[in-house]
A = this chain, B = another copy of it.
């Protein structure tokens, strides 16, 4: 009642959308990834710092390398999803900051000259963008299966470098039948929200 977003969109993005554990064989195209990115790139980050990086695992050889670093329970779905993406935080995002935040290009040096501050900001803002990405996958009529159960150090070593911290691996595709568990309960608002 208090929302202006169309109820069908509410269902698509939140209410009926679910974390998929199995997928059909229908491929996820680069055009779909482009459309998702072109939408979710507008989600807000601090200083527009845009620290999320996305590694699409498309070759069978790369897929195999990734699967072996996933937790055992995540291996079958990572092996079979139409597309798998590694989402990471770029700890050297500040190099792009003068272009990304043109009304205060000094932000790069004023706030982000120290690596620990950069890592914190990179991680938090990439996590926000990871959520926007999940929403974007759903906006494309696809299901996302985000996973944090993997050997992060091994995935970083295999696919990234010391400047990129993996946050999650996301399976993407059309959900198969019975792709999910029953919906788990959510916290009541009074367990989450307090007023002062």
Partner-B contacts on A (CB < 8 A):
1-6, 8-10, 12-15, 17, 19, 29, 31-44, 46, 48, 50, 52-59, 62, 96, 99-103, 121, 123-124, 127-132, 134-135, 138-141, 144, 146-149, 159, 167-168, 181-187, 189, 191-196
Report copies per complex.
2
Which residues from chain B contact A59 at a C-beta distance below 8 Å? Answer: 196
Beyond A6-B8, A33-B193, A127-B127, 14 additional pairs, beta carbon < 8 A: A6-B6, A10-B39, A13-B135, A15-B39, A41-B192, A42-B186, A56-B193, A56-B195, A100-B186, A123-B124, A127-B128, A127-B131, A131-B132, A132-B135
Q: In the complex, are the beta carbons of A187 and B131 less than 8 A apart?
A: no
A10 in contact with B186 (CB, 8 Å): no
Task: Please determine whether A44 and B32 come into contact, CB atoms closer than 8 angstroms.
Answer: no
Given contacts A35-B3, A39-B3, A141-B4, are A159 and B100 in contact (CB under 8 A)?
no
Contact across chains for B139 and A44 when beta carbons are under 8 A apart: no
Give 5 A-B contacts (CB < 8 Å), ordered by A residue: A4-B139, A15-B42, A54-B192, A124-B148, A127-B131
Instruction: Find the B residue at minimum CB distance from A17.
Output: B42
Pick the contact of A2: B31, B43, B148 (CB < 8 A): B31
Q: Please measure, in the bound complex, the distance between the C-alpha atom of A50 and the C-alpha atom of B184, giving whole angstroms.
A: 11
CA distance A36 to B96 in the complex (A): 34
* Residue in A19, A132, A196 whose Cβ sees the most chain B Cβ within 10 Å: A196
Contact B2 A29 (CB under 8 A): yes
Structural contact, A57 and B196, CB atoms closer than 8 A: yes
